[in-house]
């Protein structure tokens, strides 16, 4: 294998940071010499149970645009397929690695274990691996005290500018970006999926701040309005085509502009609420950073083993066939778009965990694959929260009928996603099990034939689940463990002590029942004639 004439390189390993703007590892590396901008497609990662073709298609679009952006700076993105260690070892043998640069990543269990192996390899090779924070997550974090202040300091930093340029690496094959089929991913038709790439993310940020955010605070909860009034930036934040810092700063600049103009009603308040969600984004990722096994194990050990897997119920829930119209409409919408507003995500997980009594990990994996914006830290923290396994959050059992009546009172969303119910009279639409057989026959929707009856008595199941969870919380020793969890993971913004928070949760028990909640490793240099 030939040795590259350009000598040891600064390797910038792109991960979930698929951009060139506000990319400090790229900037720092470029100031130290020739840069190899590298993305490693890891087949094993994409065969994990939380990965899907819809996610890879988004990432692939991001990589195509990133390659062009880096080419404009002087050196296009180099893509290799295989394990990261094999790729780095090949790079080391071919031309030497002067330094490895990346952003810190709080990913799933696979990436956590992989990064530990990479760190060990770098130490064995005498290669400095510099991991730079890109959001508000702090590593390591001995205590949550002062975390919010540190988050603000991070968000106030000036975004890293573009490097002046990158030295070209003549003759280095940039490598193909594989298709979903190349990675062995199942076909995943998602007609409403958002497209990847920084240009798409920047356009969404602009339209949100200029127009769509005006009623964000009032319209984020209903699936009828959220698709327009929410930012829709989540996949771009998850995969890093935009940095959290630039979104925070742009949001705050816009708030100041609106306040100065006057006459904008509650628009500045809407952006304040969005700003709070951006803080919340890092708060939950920090939980996974601090305790990586929460992806797999219950935060409160007393809640382990409560539920049993049920393949029939899981299949009905994950395909939108539970017989609960609003739940099924939300699931079918998610399957066709890869996105759903937060309240409806919480409702889906709650129904799976309480009314269907499914293990949070089973339902969580189904959702993870469906979300194009899958962010492990947020996702697994929320799955546990909505399933009542954290021990510190209120037990929030969503009433699927109430949610439908509150957020889709005219049934437009249900009729769109459940065409079999299109002719059902409005009075029966959200609870078709109350519809007389004669009406079912007249409107062409016979339950059990055209649309399922509810697969469980959801009211009775919710009551049973509530009683079991609260009985567990009253057991001796539960509270002491919950206090320790609160000290480790709880927000410090509320001002509540851990015990005070627990009393507050207990006092809201009844109300909570109905509340919202080919391996391509080589770096050989081809002959100049191709």
pTM of the full predicted structure?
0.92
Residue 469, token pair as written in the block? 């969870």
pLDDT of residue 47: 98
Instruction: Give yes or no for residue 517 having a pLDDT over 50.
Output: no
When pLDDT is cut at 50, 70 and 90, the band that residue 493 belongs to is: low
pLDDT in tens, 201-246: 999 999 999 999 999 999 999 999 999 999 999 999 999 999 999 9
Q: Is 308 exposed, middle or buried (0-12, 13-18, 19+ CB in 10 A)?
A: exposed
pLDDT in tens, 424-461: 999 999 999 999 999 999 999 999 999 999 999 999 99
Instruction: Give yes or no for residue 387 having a pLDDT over 80.
Output: yes
Residue 266, token pair as written in the block? 């509650």
pLDDT in tens, 91-136: 999 999 999 999 999 999 999 999 999 999 999 999 999 999 999 9
Handedness of CA 58, 64, 68, 73 (dihedral sign): positive
When pLDDT is cut at 50, 70 and 90, the band that residue 513 belongs to is: very low
The pLDDT mean for the chain works out to: 92
pLDDT in tens, 292-308: 999 999 999 999 999 99
Distance of alpha carbon 40 from the chain centroid: 21
pLDDT of residue 5: 62
Q: Are 460 and 287 in contact (CB under 8 A)?
A: no
Among 1-5, 282-286, 302-306, which is the least confidently predicted range?
1-5
pLDDT in tens, 150-193: 999 999 999 999 999 999 999 999 999 999 999 999 999 899 99
pLDDT of residue 469: 96
Helix (H) or strand (E) holding 404: helix 400-407
Closest CA to 379 of 62, 146, 51, 60: 51
Instruction: Give yes or no for residue 500 having a pLDDT over 50.
Output: no
pLDDT of residue 490: 84
Which domains occur in the chain, in start order?
9-132 (3.40.50.620), 198-290 (1.25.40.80), 308-512 (1.10.579.10)
Q: Are 523 and 179 in contact (CB under 8 A)?
A: no
Q: What is the mean pLDDT of residues 453-479?
A: 97
Q: What is the mean pLDDT of residues 333-350?
A: 98
Instruction: Give yes or no for residue 499 having a pLDDT over 90.
Output: no
What CA–CA distance (Å, rounded) separates 368 from 364? 6
Instruction: Give yes or no for residue 510 having a pLDDT over 60.
Output: no
When pLDDT is cut at 50, 70 and 90, the band that residue 523 belongs to is: low
pLDDT of residue 18: 98
pLDDT of residue 6: 74
Q: What is the mean pLDDT of residues 498-502?
A: 36
pLDDT of residue 503: 37
Q: Are 88 and 114 in contact (CB under 8 A)?
A: no
Residue 283, token pair as written in the block? 């708060």
Beta-strand (E) ranges in 437-529?
none
Q: Are 223 and 340 in contact (CB under 8 A)?
A: yes
Q: What is the mean pLDDT of residues 457-478?
A: 96
When pLDDT is cut at 50, 70 and 90, the band that residue 277 belongs to is: very high
Backbone φ/ψ region at 165: left (φ over 0), alpha (ψ -120 to 50), beta: left
What CA–CA distance (Å, rounded) separates 48 from 110? 8
When pLDDT is cut at 50, 70 and 90, the band that residue 501 belongs to is: very low
Instruction: Give yes or no for residue 331 having a pLDDT over 70.
Output: yes
pLDDT of residue 525: 40
Instruction: Give yes or no for residue 75 having a pLDDT over 80.
Output: yes
Q: What is the mean pLDDT of residues 33-40?
A: 98
């Amino acid at each position: 294998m030939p040795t590259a004439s350009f000598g040891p390189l600064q390797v910038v390993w792109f991960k979930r940071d698929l951009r060139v703007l506000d990319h400090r590892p790229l900037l720092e590396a470029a100031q130290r010499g020739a840069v190899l901008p590298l993305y490693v497609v890891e087949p094993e990662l994409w065969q994990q149970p939380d990965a899907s073709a819809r996610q890879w298609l988004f990432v692939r679009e991001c990589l195509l645009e990133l390659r062009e952006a880096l080419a404009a700076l002087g050196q296009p993105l180099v893509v290799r397929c295989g394990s990261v260690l094999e790729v780095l070892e090949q790079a080391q043998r071919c031309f030497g690695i002067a330094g490895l640069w990346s952003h810190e990543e709080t990913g799933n269990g696979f990436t956590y274990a992989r990064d530990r192996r990479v760190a060990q390899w770098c130490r064995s090779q005498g290669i400095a691996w510099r991991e730079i924070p890109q959001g508000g997550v702090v590593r390591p974090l001995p205590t949550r005290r002062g975390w919010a202040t540190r988050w603000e300091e991070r968000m106030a930093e000036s975004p890293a500018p573009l490097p002046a340029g990158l030295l070209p690496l003549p003759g280095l094959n940039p490598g193909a970006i594989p298709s979903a089929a190349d990675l062995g991913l199942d076909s995943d038709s998602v007609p409403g999926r958002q497209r990847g790439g920084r240009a798409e993310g920047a356009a969404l940020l602009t339209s949100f701040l200029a127009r769509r955010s005006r009623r964000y605070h009032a319209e984020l909860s209903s699936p009828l309005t959220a698709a327009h009034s929410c930012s829709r930036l989540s996949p771009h934040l998850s995969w890093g085509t935009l940095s959290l810092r630039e979104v925070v700063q742009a949001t705050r600049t816009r708030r100041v502009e609106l306040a100065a103009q006057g006459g904008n009603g509650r628009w500045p308040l809407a952006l304040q609420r969005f700003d709070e969600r951006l803080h919340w984004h890092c708060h939950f990722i920090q939980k996974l950073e601090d305790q990586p096994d929460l992806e797999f194990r219950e935060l409160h050990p007393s809640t382990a083993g409560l539920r049993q897997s049920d393949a029939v119920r899981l299949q009905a829930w994950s395909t939108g066939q539970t017989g609960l119209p609003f739940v099924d409409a939300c699931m079918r919408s998610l399957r066709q778009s890869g996105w759903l507003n937060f309240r409806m995500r919480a409702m889906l997980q709650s129904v799976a965990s309480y009314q269907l009594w499914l293990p949070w990990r089973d339902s969580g994996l189904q959702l993870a694959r469906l979300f194009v914006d899958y962010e492990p830290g947020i996702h697994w923290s929320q799955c546990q929260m909505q399933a009542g396994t954290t021990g510190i959050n209120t037990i929030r059992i969503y009433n699927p009928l109430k949610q439908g009546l509150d957020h889709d009172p005219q049934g437009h969303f249900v009729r769109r996603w459940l065409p079999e119910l299109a002719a059902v009279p409005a009075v029966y639409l959200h609870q078709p099990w109350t519809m007389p057989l004669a009406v079912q026959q007249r409107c062409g929707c016979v339950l059990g034939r055209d649309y399922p009856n509810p697969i469980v008595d959801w009211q009775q199941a919710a009551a049973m689940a509530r009683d079991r969870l609260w009985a567990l919380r009253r057991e001796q020793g539960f509270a002491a463990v919950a206090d320790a969890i609160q000290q480790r993971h709880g927000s410090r913004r509320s001002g509540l002590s851990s015990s005070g928070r627990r009393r507050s949760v207990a006092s809201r028990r009844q109300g909570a029942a109905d509340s919202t909640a080919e391996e391509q490793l080589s770096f050989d240099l081809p002959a100049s004639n191709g």
